Amino acid sequence: MIHKIFNIQKQQLINKQVKLGIVEIWDAVANILKVFEPVELMELEAKYTINDPIKTIKFLKENKDVFNILTTEAYDEIRKYFPNEELILDVLTDPESDDQIMVLYINTKLKPQEALKKLKELDENWWLGKASRNNNLCIHLQIA
């Protein structure tokens, strides 16, 4: 994931016609590693598809509680109800306020009624208790 982040950062800088030097690369690495251990980032990447790694890392850096839920409980709890579905992380920004929220999409091929039933069970058995203490993470279905 770290490699992926730097490739994206490099491409963004190239697109802006800014020369990327080795110092900038190592500054970016050092900045990320101040907050997260490489093993933590690899664990996150192994469990979830991350739409925008840079935006995600920045969000998680400011919201360690979300990172902790994602790496300790969320994955295992979701797998009880959705054992094979792709889990996608995305950071959404409210255009009116610039507030951000992380959305965990459960990408499923289940019929909508069946998927909604399982999501309701997940909510009732685990998520609603967590959501009341953490309003920076939402779990949604994405019907494939």
| Domain layout of the chain by residue ranges | 2-143
**Mean pLDDT, rounded, for 99-108:** 96
Distance CA 9, CA 87 (A): 24
- 81 has a pLDDT exceeding 60: yes
In three-state secondary structure terms, 16 is coil
Distance CA 140, CA 30 (A): 33
Helices (H), 16-137: 22-35, 38-47, 53-62, 64-69, 75-81, 112-122, 128-131
- 18 has a pLDDT exceeding 70: no
pLDDT of residue 70: 94
pLDDT of residue 40: 76
Distance CA 20, CA 39 (A): 26
- 16 has a pLDDT exceeding 50: no
pLDDT of residue 8: 53
Backbone angles phi, psi at 86, to 5 degrees: -75, 135
How large a percentage of the chain has pLDDT more than 90?
48
Give the H or E element holding residue 101.
strand 100-108
How large a percentage of the chain has pLDDT more than 70?
72
Q: Which of 6-10, 82-86, 129-133 holds the top average pLDDT? A: 82-86
Between the CA atoms of 117, 64, 61 and 123, what dihedral angle is there, to the nearest 10 degrees? Answer: 10
Q: 115: alpha, beta or left, given left = phi > 0 and alpha = psi -120 to 50?
A: alpha
> How confident is the model over 36-73, as pLDDT tens digits?
666 677 888 899 999 988 888 889 988 989 999 999 89
